[in-house]
Amino acid sequence: MDRPPAPPAPHAGDHPPTPFVDGERIPAFTLTELLIALVIVGILVYLALPDYSQVVAQAKATEAKLQLEHLHSLQTTHYYERSQYAGELDALGFRQQKLVNEGGTANYRIELVNAGPRTYVARATAVADFDQDGQYNVWEIDHDKALREVIPD
């Protein structure tokens, strides 16, 4: 019984067989090409991530600024009505939103740290470390509406 001839041995420069559908060659990427592309994308994401976390921290700091400016307007109204600043947030009608670590949406805890008849200082302290550097962002505002970042994140 005669055997059919064996297929020719592949040469060193030959490529693996290309898939065919209905006799037509399908263009495709090899697994190696896909893995190289994946590694390149991973490196680009790794390089861009620190910049992205700074943008997130700056966006969340806007919440602190807005809350402190709102508190300043409440304190100013209280001062015009009573000739002194309030010593408690409740006296202003200010309600702290539920914090993210309590299942809410607020990223900053608002508090009056120093309040007297003619001056006050209010503080917004982050409850999360936005850029994972171990520091929590802190903002303060005073009776002159001087808003400043005490501890940057």
Q: In terms of Cα–Cα distance, which of 112, 150, 153 is closest to 136?
A: 153
Sign of the alpha-carbon torsion through 48, 53, 58, 63? positive
> Given this model, what pLDDT does residue 11 score?
58
- Domain annotation covers residue 40: yes
Q: Supply the range of the domain harboring residue 55.
A: 28-151
- Domain annotation covers residue 5: no
> Given this model, what pLDDT does residue 96 score?
92
| Dihedral, 53, 55, 59, 61 alpha carbons, nearest 10 | 70
> Given this model, what pLDDT does residue 144 score?
96
Beta bridge partners of 33: none
- Domain annotation covers residue 22: no
> Given this model, what pLDDT does residue 73 score?
96
* Helix (H) or strand (E) segment spanning residue 100: none
Query: How many domains would you assign to the chain?
Result: 1
For the chain, list residues with pLDDT below 50.
none
Please state the pTM of the whole predicted model: 0.68
> Given this model, what pLDDT does residue 42 score?
93
- Domain annotation covers residue 21: no
- Domain annotation covers residue 73: yes
> Given this model, what pLDDT does residue 16 score?
60
